[in-house]
Structure 1
Amino acid sequence: MVFPNWNGAPERVVPPSRQLTPGRWEKHHIFPQSEDLARWFERQGVKIHHYTMPIPLHVHRRIHDGTGRGGAWNDAWRSYMRQNPRAKPEEIFKHAGELIHRFDLIGGPVQPYYSRPGA
């Protein structure tokens, strides 16, 4: 996975650091796919399908349950979108890291949605 470096340094490849534990995992889009959010991310220059991470199935259900509109994860992004309608990509990526921490998402490496596990 190649991450953009916002400080002007060359981009670098971040290799997977470990194997996933046994169990049920699902790819979680860090940037939600719901139509309203997907359109906003696209306008801001963020490619939603480029950034997913495998997380345990029960965690994925926990963060998306509740409202029927993507749960607490999507609600957190909608709140950010309303408060920061002109956010730059680097600000959006920073907020993504904050949400990953806030929601205790521990899983595999960040990778594009359309990749094979471990690829």
Structure 2
Amino acid sequence: MVSNRWTHGNTTVYNIGYHLVWCSKYRRKVLVGNVEKRLKELLAKKADEIGVSIESIEVLPDHLRLFVKAPPSAAPHWIVQQMKGYSSHELRKEFPDLKSRLPTLWTRSYYVESCGHISEDTIKKYIAEQKNK
């Protein structure tokens, strides 16, 4: 039985997931209609370019939520920076209305939480029990 839980690299086996959230500037409800559709396309393209897999995405009018899987070499800050920068540049170019309504598309902040198959408590317990073996 083959599991999709792990990704195998040349020297690593990993399962790294991040829950990412970021908001439009001033929480303006601009991520709707064609902007929402195009945003999803742009994020999928950029994720593919940087070697990140989007497992789940939900775009709401004033923010978006992503669950991504990434290699150990891709820091969460770098992933967010790449996706926010690229999507902002392209959307503001394609939808000039966004330029007139907002000084920038995204806020400077974001939320990130690492997600894995094993809970934090399980890992702590496993590590603590190793000395007794």
**TM-score class normalised by the smaller sequence:** under 0.3
Higher fraction of helix: 2
Higher fraction of strand: 2
